[in-house]
Chains A and B, each alone.
Chain A
Amino acid sequence: MNWNFIIFSVVKIAIVVGVVQGMVAYAVLAERKISAWIQDRVGPNRAAPPFVQAIPGLGRVLIRLGLFQPLADGLKFMLKEDFTPAGVRKVYFWLAPAIAVIPSMLVIAVIPFGSQLGHQQMVISDLNVGILYTFGIVSLGVYGIVLAGYAANSKYPFLGGIRSSAQMISYEISMGMAVIPVFLIVGNLNLSRIIGWQAQHGWLALYSPLSFIIFLIASFAETNRLPFDLPEAETELVGGYHTEYSAMKFALFFLAEYSNMIASAAMMVTLFFGGWTLPFWGLDHPAATLAAGIAHILVFVVKMLLFVVLFIWVRWMFPRFRYDQLMDLGWRRFVPLALLNILITAIVLWLLPVRN
């Protein structure tokens, strides 16, 4: 434990948390814009501070893209009345948003978002049990939602909480089983090593496509996104588990949802699409120069944003699954499929000569 380590860790944490929060704000904008385009609409195109309107040409484009809408939204969340309804269980009501946000932020700690800048490895914590840590933290996320549903002391949030508890626990199982073949192939739980292996041998999505598909669908369910957004099905449950929340506490649930989305996009990029590496332009080995380090971070962010766009796109495409269909898909399709996938991978690896 030296001061150097502490200072650099704090700086990395501050930057990563800041960037993720900013991404969340703009993911909301992307959600609104993409939904608008898919539905033949225009989307947010008005909000702007006065000085932007004065910029000739460019200012107009920025406003049309709605780039200042997240600022307005954030400001509004801060200025709204933070209302605590009568009859809620106050302690849990206050605790739930925090418990929802913290795990979604913690997951990002183990994800290598770049190779190196100078001598600093671009990962907050290079854990040897990275993926186990991730699954441990992700499964905490459900507590925030269940607690919110329970604390509100109102039937719709309660139903949302119950739905989410069942849904998230079921899909966690298939999610966890889906990634086992990845570790059988790589032979390591450290996410940086997994990226290193993919840089040498090619992306794991090619070796184990079934794992990727199960992981992708399970992460839609884990992040409560359509077609599995039963905990917050507006048409059925008013607003879902956060019906009784307002202002900043509601914003925290929003933040949790979107940073979960970003985190699972980052996980998918890391596990299946080579993380910060690209197989060409010599971007597949740790950076020696500062420019290459920045390029690696950009590669990672771009890959991640592609997945975030996929998450958003899918939301505006599919109807919601029915509850029994959701459970059927989780338990009777994905769990056996994932088990089969593990078995086949194990047999193939057993038959093949040892590679490394």
Chain B
Amino acid sequence: MIVNRKPLTLAERLYLPAIVGGFKVTFRHALRSLFGGKTVTMEYPEQKWAVPPDYRGAPYLVRDQDGNTKCVSCQLCEFVCPPKAIRIKPPGPAGQLADRPNAEKMPEEFEIDFLRCIYCGLCQEVCPEEAIFLLKDYSLTGQSRGEMIYNKEKLLALGGVHGGIQKWKSKLEEAKEQENFPVKV
């Protein structure tokens, strides 16, 4: 389809109305941001944005409601991590036992290199124990490369207690119920 363009009027060809219009618009905006305080700038360190609930920030280890380590050192996250940012040292046969019931072991050391991490969330997805979550931290900084490798204590401290999910608790209760056979429905 051919759209016929209307020839410009004399006023339009002189640019003058457009110039006046431009001055008006820019002056209004300048006044508004100067005296009205209506700027769109978010002055970052002082003002922070509301992080959306499903935001994928830095992955941290979490504890359960009882304050115990949820991670059982299965190393699935280490295996699935695309940039190989996670390094887990399992306790080995003679290592420390897990600090919670219904778990055989917990990691001796668990490191995430945040210079490598790409915040993809695969570790959270793969974790069978729901022990690692992408939380809301988005501004990780450090003075050296070494500082950006977070160890187990740091990750657990930053992750905090994760409410809600205690995967093995219902299983434990079910097992206890088994002893009082027949099962009450």
User: A interface vs B, CB < 8 Å?
Assistant: 34, 36-42, 45, 313, 316-318
Q: How far is the CB of B23 from chain A (nearest CB, A)?
A: 7
Q: A36 near B26 (CB under 8 angstroms)? A: no
Residue in A42, A313, A317 whose CB lies within 8 Å of B43: A42
- Determine whether the beta carbon of A40 is less than 8 Å from that of B40: yes
CA distance A313 to B34 in the complex (A): 15
A interface: dominant SS:
loop
Which residue in A34, A42, A45, A318 is a CB contact (below 8 Å) of B30? A34
Contact of B39 among A42, A313, A317, A318 (CB under 8 A): A42
Q: Taking A40-B38, A40-B39, A41-B41 as contacts, is the C-beta distance between A317 and B26 under 8 angstroms? A: yes
How far apart are A42's CB and chain B's nearest CB, in angstroms?
Answer: 4
For residue B85, give the distance in angstroms from its CB to the closest CB of chain A. 33
Using Cβ atoms and an 8 Å threshold, which residues of chain B touch A45? 43
B84 at the A interface (CB under 8 A):
no
Measured between alpha carbons, how far is A38 from B23 in the docked complex, in Å?
Answer: 10
- CB of B22 within 8 A of chain A? yes
Interface pair A40/B26, CB less than 8 Å apart:
no
A41 touches B22 (CB 8 A): no
- Return the contact of A38 from the options B19, B30, B38, B41 (Cβ within 8 A): B30
Interface of B is mostly: helix
The A-contacting residues of B in range 19-61, CB under 8 angstroms, are 19, 22-23, 25-26, 29-30, 32-34, 38-41, 43
Contact indicator B33/A40 (Cβ below 8 Å): yes
Max chain A C-beta neighbours (<10 A), residue from B23, B26, B40: B26
Given contacts A39-B33, A42-B43, A313-B26, 9 further A-B contacts (CB under 8 A): A37-B30, A38-B26, A38-B30, A40-B33, A40-B40, A40-B41, A41-B33, A41-B41, A317-B25
Residue of B nearest to A317 (CB): B22
A217: nearest residue on chain B (CB-CB)? B15
Q: What are 28 A-B pairs at a CB distance below 8 A?
A: A34-B30, A36-B33, A37-B29, A37-B30, A37-B33, A38-B26, A38-B29, A39-B29, A39-B33, A40-B29, A40-B32, A40-B33, A40-B38, A40-B39, A40-B40, A40-B41, A41-B39, A41-B40, A41-B41, A42-B33, A42-B39, A42-B41, A42-B43, A45-B43, A313-B23, A317-B22, A317-B23, A317-B25
Closest Cβ of chain A to B22, distance in Å, is 4
- Kindly provide the distance from the CB of A40 to the nearest chain B CB, expressed in whole angstroms: 5
Separation in Å of the B24 CB from the closest CB of chain A?
10
Nearest chain B CB to A44 CB, angstrom units: 11
Q: Closest residue of chain A to B36, judged by CB?
A: A40
A42 to B42, CA, bound (A): 9
Q: Which of A37, A41, A318 has the most CB of B within 10 A?
A: A37
Give bound CA distance, A47 to B40, whole Å: 20
Bound CA–CA A311/B98 (angstroms): 71
Nearest A residue to B42 via CB reads A42
Which residues of the other chain, B, contact A34 by a CB distance below 8 angstroms?
Answer: 30
CB contacts (< 8 Å) of B40 on chain A: these are 40-41
